[in-house]
Structure 1
């Protein structure tokens, strides 16, 4: 979240899910695309459409769990402010309601946020957090939709349990 520090990556729920399959070689890393890793997993396991859909539900649950663990529960102003600052919202909102409103306006793919948080360094002082250059802010929902479709980077809203994740998701299909 700031420049010049050590990434504090620790494997999370997604890594536990991906690494828990026999015969699938998976090395947890902050650099990987978790979506590409899931696709590799499905191919390596020879899943048909029905099994792949069942496993997607488990994968989405892991994404939701990890997103909450890394980004926050949604009950803490500091977590909301940290996210707002990390995605480049200025001036920094001073209440949870303001944070939610400002973040809801953003057009960002949640997998970019998740990857950025997986690579982030812990910063205690919120004033030292810099906007993450790896998170692309789209000018419109239409641009976000086009990007998400092109890269097949969807997250179904019905699987989002955490309030922060729910607050970021938009209807794209």
Structure 2
């Protein structure tokens, strides 16, 4: 993936997510289709562990007012991600950030 495309997805996700307030985390959970008790960032982070979405697709879906495709498991997500080459660069992942909650080991 080129540097421009890498910077683009990182910036687009950061713009979408915001500053990391509870409202930002709750919006992310809703946008991927999660419901239930999302009353803290910790609960949001835990809930997101069960979700398998491609981050590129998430950003695109939100722009279009849709929900991203959710995969049944990490293996399905990995196969799709490698096939489409829609890989979020690991070097831009913050330890406790939202991307970390969505990231899956695909290799």
Which stretches in structure 1 are left out of the alignment for 5+ residues? 1-52, 121-131
2:6 aligned with 1:66: no
**Residues 96-107 of structure 1: matches in 2 within 5 Å?**
96-107=41-52
Aligned to 2:105: 171
CA shift, 1:86, in A, is: 1.3
- Once the two structures are TM-superposed, the CA of residue 150 in structure 1 deviates from its matched residue by 1.9
Please provide the CA RMSD for this pair: 2.0
Alignment size in residue pairs: 106
Contact 1:64 1:160 in 2 (8 A): no
2:23 corresponds, among 48, 55, 78, to: 78
Contact 2:48 2:101 in 1 (8 A): yes
Q: In structure 2, how many angstroms separate the alpha carbons of the residues matched to 1:59 and 1:112? A: 14
Q: Secondary structure at the match of 1:105?
A: coil
Rounded to whole Å, the distance in 2 between the matches of 1:155 and 1:97 is 23
1:112-132 Cα shifts (integer Å, max 9, x gaps): 111012223xxxxxxxxxxx4
Runs of 4+ displaced beyond 4 Å: none
